[in-house]
Amino acid sequence: MGQTIAIISALQQEQAGLLALMPGQQPERLAGREFWRGQLHGHQVIAVLSGIGKVAAATTTAVLMERFQPQQLIFTGVAGGIADGVAVGDIVVGSSYLQHDMDASPLFPRHELPGYGRSRLAADPALLALLQQAAEQAIAWLPQQLDPATRSAFGLHAPRVHAGKIITGDRFVATAAESHALRAELAAALAVDMESAAVAQVCHDYGVPFCAVRTISDRADDQAHVDFPAFLQQVARHYSGRMLEVALSLL
């Protein structure tokens, strides 16, 4: 048997795709979460839903570490596109993670994690490269899984893979004004979510390699509250299962 890989999904729809690839598994209930053990491409896989927001995601990750001791951790979910050119349906693989709502100033510089001496945490380089490769492979055929009307409704004609900074906070960003403010403050941020940087911090504490891969569900603008649920309903469930299968086959 290969390594133990933890896969945290943000969405039930995404987790369903993964669990379908690992038949016969049994969940273990801890801290109100269901941890699913299974096997995929010769690896032991532990699949769990993160919960929404930084605290829920950090609790999930800490329980995973203590109970299952994974050797690597992958997060899959959706995110709001922040940078120009990061469109709905694109995939962002996080090379670094920052909590945009962390602010212990003036005691520490804005965004710095107190006690860590830095504001950004890096993805594991090998896992980043692997997920980029899996995303590049998957993006070629993912839109073909959708019917043409859905593809057109979401403009999913030539989706792209990006690697770069993901920012995280306990806020669903749903106005263009806030998105622009985040972009102005945190140059080079590609996408915003509510969990990745929290999971990155727990992985850092435990010394476990981490990387997050996020499909863009909305542009974190005034349309986000409409685009986000529509994307979850109609598109997201087709995305992560196969991409993860490709990733684990490459591991």
What is the rounded distance in angstroms from the CA atom of residue 108 to the CA atom of residue 233? Answer: 41
Cβ at position 86, least distance to ligand ADE in Å: 12
Instruction: Give how far Cα 22 sits from Cα of 8, 102, 204, Å.
Output: 15, 38, 28
Burial 68-94 (b: 16+ CB within 10 A, else e): bebebbbbbbbbbbbbeebbbbbbbbb
Name the residues that contact ligand ADE, by CB under 6 A. Answer: 78-80, 172-174, 192-194, 217-218, 220, 224, 228
Residue 85, Ramachandran bin (φ over 0: left; ψ between -120 and 50: alpha; else beta): left
Which residue lies nearest ligand ADE, judged by its C-beta? 80
**DSSP state letters, 150-217:** HHHHTT-SS--EEEEEEEE-SS----HHHHHHHHHHSTTEEEEESSHHHHHHHHHHHT--EEEEEEEE
What is the rounded distance in angstroms from the CA atom of residue 87 to the CA atom of residue 128? Answer: 20
Cβ at position 135, least distance to ligand ADE in Å: 17
* Residue among 119 and 168 whose Cβ is closer to ligand ADE: 168
Cβ at position 80, least distance to ligand ADE in Å: 3
Cβ at position 91, least distance to ligand ADE in Å: 13
The residues, any chain, with a CB within 8 Å of residue 235's CB and separated by 6 or more, are 89, 146, 150, 154, 156, 215, 217
Enumerate the active-site residues.
14, 218
* Residue among 53 and 209 whose Cβ is closer to ligand ADE: 53
Which tokens belong to 60?
């999930």
Which tokens belong to 89?
């349906």
* Residue among 90 and 193 whose Cβ is closer to ligand ADE: 193
What is the rounded distance in angstroms from the CA atom of residue 36 to the CA atom of residue 3? Answer: 16
* Residue among 40 and 192 whose Cβ is closer to ligand ADE: 192
* Residue among 27 and 229 whose Cβ is closer to ligand ADE: 229
Cβ at position 94, least distance to ligand ADE in Å: 13
